[in-house]
Amino acid sequence: MSHFLLPESVLNKFAREELELEIRLEILQAKRRLNKPRETKSSVLEFQGQRSSATIASRSEALRRNKMLLKDLDVQAAKLRSRTCYCPTDLHLTSLRKKYHDELAAHYYTSKVIQM
């Protein structure tokens, strides 16, 4: 029987703590409502002016960052283009292929001459 009482006591404990938290939340919300300053038209306009100047500053900062990012991107793209255009391995393989092709052509020509 005592096993069945233990979970009920735990549930009661959590229900009591939940109730205490709800009461504290209501008290804090009431204090907040009382201490909340009234918004006047001038304070709203002042806040909007500060926000718009901050927005302009952040936009100019974003433009500067974007220009730098695009510049860096162009530089990296140019580096990649130059690396893909020149590759020593490709150059070496191309020269070997040409040499092999020339040898095959020479062998084909000599074999045709011998057969005639």
Same domain, 80 and 109: no
Same domain, 50 and 63: yes
Quote the CA–CA distance of 113 and 99 in Å, as a whole number. 21
- Predicted local distance difference test score (pLDDT) of residue 114: 58
The parent domain of residue 93 ranges over: 87-116
pTM passes above 0.85 = no
Quote the CA–CA distance of 66 and 54 in Å, as a whole number. 18
Q: Cα angle at 11 between 5 and 17, to 5 degrees?
A: 135
Same domain, 32 and 51: no
Quote the CA–CA distance of 44 and 49 in Å, as a whole number. 9
Tally of structural domains, the chain: 3
Amino acid identity, position 78: A
Same domain, 71 and 57: yes
- The yes-or-no verdict on residue 47 having pLDDT over 70 is no
Q: For residue range 57-108, what is the model confidence (pLDDT) as tens digits?
A: 788 888 888 889 888 888 888 888 777 666 667 778 888 889 988 888 887 7
Mean of the per-residue pLDDT values for the chain?
Answer: 76
Distance of CA 19 to the CA centre of its chain: 43
- Predicted local distance difference test score (pLDDT) of residue 1: 45
